[in-house]
Amino acid sequence: MNEIKRATHGSIDTPLRIGEVEIPCYVLQDGTRVLSGRGMQTALGLGQRHGALLKGFLDKNNLKVHINNDLAMALNNPIRFIRPGRGGRVAAGYEATTLADICDAMLEARKHNVLTPKQLVIAQQCEVLTRAFAKVGIIALVDEATGYQEIREKQALQAILDKYLRKELAAWAKRFPDEFYKEMFRLKGWEWNPMNVKRPGVVGKYTKDLVYERLATGIIEELEARNPKDSKGNRKARHHQFLTDEVGHPALAQHLYAVIGFMKASNSWEMFRKLINQAYPKRNTTLELPLE
């Protein structure tokens, strides 16, 4: 028997609205978006006397040929879940995209002229539903109705941060090749001395701009939160010491060598800036267009 999961978002009072149709919808603890089985039956015009109407309707011989294996599997295995605020009551439903798949099957059967007059009415309703939503957009519609989109965005950002950033500070190791600074000095017209570790203060700002602000969404904000400046303007560690070995450091190395490549291909700092902004625009900024 399938595991009974708990819905974390959604209720009967916040249905998915498609035109005049309302379907109770939920998001489960694993992120699965689910539509109420009875709600789907009502949306298709089948009524809601009991939960087996949908499967029984699609089991008709003239429809079976248009039901693919994935849809048949979904219909034979409804998702059982516990609704929020229902005192532990178990409900049954289907993954949200199943409704779009049913509509596709009905419209395909209609195209082959195999439907009965009653089934043609259902097919007409499927056409209305199909016009109201695209299969790709159904998840977004459910998220909006349940209020899950804000959680989804936070979780997506957190997933990126978890891949790139480690929980504990790593020991220092050299991550920025001398070539990165040598090319920066050349383009800025500064004298390069590899033995001199003291660099102009603006180099730190350029490094933040060229590397960390272009590495991945939310990375620089999280790094500055974890590694803030003290009262003297110093940080307890280098930003790269917070990057993970599995994703963070490889991404940093790949990005650095791409930046160095653009530096080598440029004759001036201005030329380099145009190239890097076009190839690796900073997160949440407008792409700079190459104008004559």
Domain ranges, ordered by start, for the chain: 5-147, 157-279
Mean pLDDT over 161-176 rounds to: 78
Per-residue pLDDT at 64 exceeds 70? yes
* Positions of E strands within the chain: 5-9, 16-18, 21-23, 25-28, 33-36, 79-82, 90-95
pLDDT-derived band at 284, boundaries 50, 70, 90: low
Per-residue pLDDT at 182 exceeds 90? yes
Mean pLDDT over 109-131 rounds to: 88
pLDDT of residue 291: 39
Q: For a pLDDT cut of 70, what percent of the chain falls above it? A: 89
pLDDT of residue 260: 93
Per-residue pLDDT at 17 exceeds 60? yes
Question: Nearest Cα to 94, choosing from 151, 52, 156, 147?
Answer: 52
pLDDT-derived band at 287, boundaries 50, 70, 90: very low
Please name every residue paired with 22 in a beta bridge, in sequence order, or none if there are none.
17
Q: Tokens 């959604």 belong to which residue?
A: 10
pLDDT of residue 88: 64
pLDDT of residue 110: 92
Q: For a pLDDT cut of 90, what percent of the chain falls above it? A: 23
Question: Nearest Cα to 7, choosing from 77, 71, 93?
Answer: 93
Per-residue pLDDT at 124 exceeds 80? yes
Question: Nearest Cα to 95, choosing from 42, 143, 26, 174?
Answer: 26
Question: Nearest Cα to 78, choosing from 4, 159, 185?
Answer: 4
Per-residue pLDDT at 210 exceeds 90? yes
What is the distance between the alpha carbons of residues 98 and 105, in angstroms, rounded to a whole number? Answer: 11
- Pair 170, 241: CB distance under 8 Å: yes
pLDDT of residue 267: 94
The CA–CA distances, whole Å, from 80 to 26, 39, 45 equal 12, 14, 23
- Mean per-residue pLDDT of the chain: 83
Q: Whats the size of the chain, residue-wise?
A: 292
Q: What is the DSSP letter of 212?
A: I
Tokens linked to 89: 């009551």
Measured in degrees and rounded to the nearest 5, phi and psi for residue 151 equal: -65, -40
Region of poorest pLDDT, from 114-123, 150-159, 174-183? 150-159
pLDDT-derived band at 52, boundaries 50, 70, 90: low
Mean pLDDT over 225-231 rounds to: 88
Please name every residue paired with 91 in a beta bridge, in sequence order, or none if there are none.
81
Measured in degrees and rounded to the nearest 5, phi and psi for residue 24 equal: -55, 135
What is the distance between the alpha carbons of residues 251 and 244, in angstroms, rounded to a whole number? Answer: 10
Query: Which one is predicted more confidently, 3 or 227?
Result: 227
Question: Nearest Cα to 130, choosing from 107, 151, 158, 96?
Answer: 107
Per-residue pLDDT at 196 exceeds 80? no
pLDDT-derived band at 87, boundaries 50, 70, 90: low
Per-residue pLDDT at 171 exceeds 70? yes
Per-residue pLDDT at 6 exceeds 70? yes
What is the distance between the alpha carbons of residues 66 and 58, in angstroms, rounded to a whole number? Answer: 9
Question: Is pTM, for the whole model, over 0.95?
Answer: no
Please name every residue paired with 147 in a beta bridge, in sequence order, or none if there are none.
none
